[in-house]
Amino acid sequence: MTSQNRTSGTKTTPMFQVKLSLIIIVLGAVFACTAPFLHMLYPKTNPDIEQLKIKVRSQEISEAEYYIQRESFTFFGYSTKRKFWYAIGKPISTLYFLLILFYATTYIGFKELKAALRVITFMGTSISFYFIVWAFWHRGDFPLKAYYISIGVISVLSAYASYLLIVFRDSLLNRIKILTSFIVNKGSTYVPKEDEKAYVHDYLKTFKKVIK
């Protein structure tokens, strides 16, 4: 098997990976772009809560009883799903595109620009996580000050975890590239000519197992 065949053989799988990554990114972008508008799919009022309001006005139940029963009809503390998606739609959209930008910085060679963009995206990601956590976490009886501090801490930690995940993935891919480059370009020089075909077949088979 010639070196040309070896090169074309190793390019088939990465191309599949690129296409799969693009599909995932595009599908994510579609959801991120539609998230701010999902609230429009839901009604403005909650029939069950409206019925409770009628009972309060007719004095069938007290206001205290109204708030107790109301909790069972809420969605993450919101009276309607429309209000919930209105609160969380924009942060989800912003978070997605910031994470994409965060990931894109791994391909930037200019260190100063990379550092600046990572600082900016880290701050923006923290803010997006803040509003997402705030939307999901109904405060209830949690002290107000501790509530906001807790959300702030969770948001920063979530942004930092995203940063570590992206950086770790980039570092891991670079190491894999170095290793595979050595195996493909240098490894064959240590293999006898008569065993070269079997060697190429084996490492291609192994690569396919690794990327599954």
154, 142 in Cβ contact below 8 A?
no
pLDDT value for 193: 66
Confidence of residue 148 (pLDDT cuts 50, 70, 90): confident
Please say if the pLDDT value at position 90 is more than 80. Answer: yes
Domain chopping of the chain, boundaries: 3-43+86-211, 45-79
Give 9-67 pLDDT, tens digit per residue.
Answer: 444 445 655 676 788 888 989 999 999 999 999 999 999 999 999 999 998 999 889 98
pLDDT value for 2: 44
pLDDT value for 76: 87
pLDDT value for 162: 86
CB-CB neighbours of 44 under 10 Å: 10
Give 187-199 pLDDT, tens digit per residue.
Answer: 556 666 666 667 6
pLDDT value for 128: 93
pLDDT value for 145: 79
C-alpha atoms less than 13 angstroms from C-alpha of 34 in its C-beta half-sphere: 8
106, 177 in Cβ contact below 8 A?
no
184, 203 in Cβ contact below 8 A?
yes
pLDDT value for 67: 87
State the distance between the two ends of the chain, measured CA to CA, in whole angstroms: 25
Distance (Å, rounded) from C-alpha 104 to C-alpha 109? 11
- Choice between 145 and 86, residue whose per-residue pLDDT is larger: 86
Please say if the pLDDT value at position 171 is more than 80. Answer: no
Mean pLDDT on 121-139: 89
What CA dihedral angle connects 82, 56, 143 and 122, to 10 degrees? Answer: 10
